Amino acid sequence: MPPDNSHDDKILRVRVTAKDADTLRALLRDERPDVGGRPRTHADGSVGIDAYVPARKAEALEQPGVTVKVVGDATATGKARQTEVGEGDRFADPSAVPRGLGDKVEE
Amino acid sequence: MPAHTNSNARYLNTTEVDSALVRLAGAYPQLSRLVALPEPSVEGVTCHALEIGSTPDGGKDCVVLTGGVHAREWGSCEVLVLLAADLLEAYRRGTGLAYGGTRFDAAQVRALLDGLSVVVFPLVNPDGRHYSQTADPMWRKNRNRAHASGGPACVGVDINRNFDFLFDFTTAFAPNAGPRVSDDPCDYQTYQGPHPFSEPETRNVRWLLDTYAGTRWFVDVHSYSEDMLYIWGDDENQSADPDQNFRNPHYDGKRGLPHDTAYAEYIPESDADTALELAQEFCAGLHGVRGGTYTPMSGFHLYPTCGTSDDYAYSRHIVDGSKSKVLAFTIEWGKEDPNSDAASFHPPWAEMQRIVKDVDAGLVRFCLAALKT
């Protein structure tokens, strides 16, 4: 099934946990959710990964051997972060030069 | 001495990423050269890179650092812009550099810019970044409408699937491998495009590798999973059987499965060792800042891929013996923590600044180690 993440939908961040690596691999191959990070194996052998899916698709990821936990509203989080993006051009003044975040250590 | 600006209050918008490079080139004319990429983006934005080093390229070993390929991974641009700013200021002032507990003395800073050309191309995909920062924050692709025939999801190409490496994935991979790529133009995230290098953004990266013929290392900055990935991404690495390689059609239909004996991608042992060593150096430099732990591993262990920048960069010398060998890496910065919304493609800017310090410390140590190889 191809992904169907129309950008008009709210995208949820969900934590997908499969009973084992083969189950997760099959889910990713067949459902093709957008993912972040990489599969992480837990002590009990289960394997989890972040996925980003429209709300209406989140339930479809639930299958035998697979649990889906909603972590948050990724679209809302991203919209909130958009308020942390600069406006205009902070370097418009030719004398404005970027500085890095490292400390310059005199020796 | 330039009038430095305490300008790190927010994420950079698309205009500011480019103007930051222009200002750095203007402030450090003896140490940097502004490079105009030959092709504007799909929506007409002219892109720049910045070559830094105490002398112009002139045959020195070169490291090419790219970022902003995936639109939503905003902080990748800041990682590279602020790294360039740090190196330039420290070199000119004759200081060391400190990122938390990771410190480099003035001699190391000098050795880096005397010995290397460092080419930073922080925003490969300006149209996508602008769209992600102003409309759909989860947008990943470029904004090419030429291949669209349906809804808004049918816009754009995943630049990091558009390079020429196992592009015909339906032939190259095992049917059940499930590489993270799509030939469906309406795939929201991973549409590969109609053919390799169909996108101007991808061709600009290729142009950098062609132009800086002394390039020996390539690092593409992405998010997220706290990994330092090295080639290959299509299958497990092996150094025993040169016949098992991406050019050999005998292995079509067998690639991309973990833990099998049918196929693994060949890499000479010396290259595998050096790639691992450099990835470990990056992780050690990063760890020293505030204790972060990134994992060095081959890209396949993230998930099977094709058409990616790192595999293409390394494959070039195999496909064309006249090209230099480029050891290639992908950084995946940022935490994966299901209990925190700070762990995402767009961390709060306060956290992103800490990540920038982590990754920049890792990159400085990576470059210093590369100089010795």
B96 touches chain A (CB under 8 A): yes
Q: What is the pLDDT of residue B3?
A: 55
Interfacial B residues in 50-79 facing A (CB < 8 Å): 72, 74
**Is pLDDT larger for residue A8 or for residue B289?**
B289
In A, minimum Cα distance to B342 occurs at A77
In A, minimum Cα distance to B333 occurs at A37
Q: At how many degrees (to 10) do helices B200-211 and B309-319 cross?
A: 50
Helix, strand and coil in chain A, % to nearest 5:
25, 35, 40
Q: What is the pLDDT of residue B305?
A: 94
Averaged pLDDT of chain A:
88
Q: Which of B226, B332, B336, B351 is catalytic?
A: B332
- Give me the residue spans of the domains in chain B: 14-371
Per residue, the 3-state secondary structure of A10-45, as one string, reads: CEEEEEEEECCHHHHHHHHHHHCCEEEEEEEECCCC
Q: What is the pLDDT along chain B (373 residues), one digit of tens a residue?
A: 555 555 788 999 999 999 999 999 999 999 999 999 999 999 999 999 999 999 876 678 999 999 999 999 999 999 999 999 999 999 999 999 999 999 999 999 999 999 999 999 999 999 999 999 999 999 999 999 988 776 777 899 999 999 999 999 999 999 999 899 999 999 989 999 999 999 999 999 999 999 999 999 999 999 999 999 999 999 999 999 999 999 999 999 999 999 999 999 999 999 999 999 999 999 999 999 999 999 999 999 888 999 999 999 999 999 999 999 999 999 999 987 777 767 789 999 999 999 999 999 999 999 999 999 9
* Maximum CA extent, chain B: 61
Closest among B46, B120, B121, B122 to B78, alpha carbons compared: B122
Written as six digits, the tokens of B158 are 């995943």
Specify the CATH class of B14-371 in words. alpha beta
Interfacial A residues in 13-32 facing B (CB < 8 Å): 13, 15, 21, 25, 28-30, 32
Q: Does B332 qualify as catalytic in the annotation?
A: yes
Q: Is B210 helix (H, G, I), strand (E, B) or coil?
A: helix
ipTM: 0.92
